[in-house]
Amino acid sequence: MEFISYALPQTAEPRQEPPVHPVWTMKTLKKTCGNMATQIGIAAIAGIVFGLIVGEWASNLQFIGDLFIRLIQMSIVPLVMASVIFATGSMTGTGVGKMAFRTFKWMLSFAIIAAVLAVALSILINPGGGQVFTGEIDSSLQKEAAQQSKGWQETIVGFVSTNIFEAMSSGSMVPVIVFALLFGMALNRHVQKTENRLLVDFFDQAQQVVLITIRLVMYIAPIGVFALLASLAGDVGFAVVTTALKYLGATLIGVIILTLLFVIVVSVRTGLNPWKLPRKLAEQTTVAITTTSSAVTFPTVLKNTVEKVGVSKRCADFALSIGLTMGSYGAVLNYTIAIMFLAQAGNVDLSAGQIIMGMGLAILLNMGTITVPGGFPVVALFLASALNLPIEAVGLLIAVDWFSGIFRTFLNVNGDTLVAMLVANASDEIDRDVYAETGKKAAMA
């Protein structure tokens, strides 16, 4: 009896212990991220209103927004590298080649369609006609654009870096992806030969840790968005938009047409209900249009594509990582419209060959760098100098770049998810129960 009397308290004691660190569970993180779209939306509206009220003083908040962007950017290179290496290294058979071919096929096809559509819209709408430009362009921007002006051969050679660590430190994503693809294929062969998955598991775990790091940073996303938009509204205001309505309108119409085309192609190829897409893409859309950065939105896109759309993790890792730098359809559309705008504003008659060259440059530029806020001025000046277009006309494009950046980023991030669906569908790697939410409904019942 003495043994029983002492044993009972011992068996009951562990039940009274609180769980260890409950705040850091994945369930808590997902719940927090689930409300993030609403929080960021409210912060964006509040930031614009605040900036318009206080005026130029709001520019003092810019550093907070810049800090938020940098906190996200610092994790993008290791996240993309780990994702590509894991996705490539864990494939079996001929999976790497087939998935790479499908990914590049869809991305290049939609990029070409975006460029052609941009030319057609520019001819119809004539966004640069009748514009008058004043003011000077920052000389440092002109110098930087001149340094980047090089032939297509040099551009392609630049896709391969002689020093991968230098490419990582400078944020040159294409060389990083090329290295990750080669490393992943070598790792894949090593695993098949030795059956040792230690490195594959390492990169899988590294990716998960980086994702959690970024999700922790996302706790301050509403503050960062508030500061960014308050500074913008206080410094620029909205009056400048009225002088570029045709340019912004052409970009918006192009984004709407391409988005509809994406959705139609995806619904026809996959047979999935397109009416479910808006709610599934709502969170990443909110982050995209408030930060105007595909890089900042990437972790949210990766999470939603797997957890809400149902694309397999390995397919999402591969297709979305490649799409981050090579699937910027909104950028291709906007860059091509910018070329036509500059020509029309300067009364320059572009030949068919020059238009095709401009379209090619827009597609190549979309592959060159990761999409972050503030990169458009250099791109616009580069295009103007490469095609001998009036540099003076770039001023207005730079002034309204944040607004056109909203349209670009919206199509970039959502287009990547839709391409990932097409790639996954070809190898039957879409969980249709996740997409239809049947499993969730069954659990709730």
pTM above 0.75, yes or no: no
Q: State the pLDDT confidence band at 2, using cuts at 50, 70 and 90.
A: very low
pLDDT of the residue at 151: 53
pLDDT of the residue at 130: 65
Domain ranges of the chain: 25-444
Report whether pLDDT(237) > 90: no
pLDDT in tens, 63-105: 888 888 788 778 777 877 887 787 777 766 555 678 878 888 8
CA-to-CA dists, residue 226 to 47, 79, 241, angstroms = 4, 26, 21
* Tokens 């069954």 belong to residue: 442
CA-to-CA dists, residue 331 to 104, 175, 203, angstroms = 17, 20, 30
* Tokens 């800090």 belong to residue: 67
| Contact present, 241 and 248 (Cβ < 8 Å) | yes
pLDDT of the residue at 92: 62
- Could you please state the CATH topology (level 3) that the domain comprising 25-444 is classified under: Proton glutamate symport protein (1.10.3860)
Q: What are φ and ψ of residue 135, in 5° steps?
A: 95, 160
Report whether pLDDT(174) > 80: no
pLDDT of the residue at 150: 52
Question: Cα(30)–Cα(308) distance, rounded to whole angstroms?
Answer: 12
Q: What are φ and ψ of residue 311, in 5° steps?
A: -70, 140
Q: State the pLDDT confidence band at 48, using cuts at 50, 70 and 90.
A: confident
Question: Mean pLDDT lowest for which of 113-117, 174-178, 272-276?
Answer: 174-178
pLDDT in tens, 104-146: 889 889 999 999 999 999 999 888 776 655 444 454 444 444 4
Report whether pLDDT(440) > 60: no
What is the chain's mean pLDDT, rounded?
A: 76
Distance spanning both ends of the chain, measured CA to CA: 47
Report whether pLDDT(5) > 50: no
Report whether pLDDT(252) > 90: yes
> At residue 347, what is the residue type?
N
Q: State the pLDDT confidence band at 436, using cuts at 50, 70 and 90.
A: confident
Report whether pLDDT(325) > 80: no
Question: Cα(301)–Cα(148) distance, rounded to whole angstroms?
Answer: 30
Question: Cα(42)–Cα(281) distance, rounded to whole angstroms?
Answer: 18
Query: Average pLDDT in the 49-63 region?
Result: 84
Question: Mean pLDDT lowest for which of 8-17, 235-244, 290-299?
Answer: 8-17
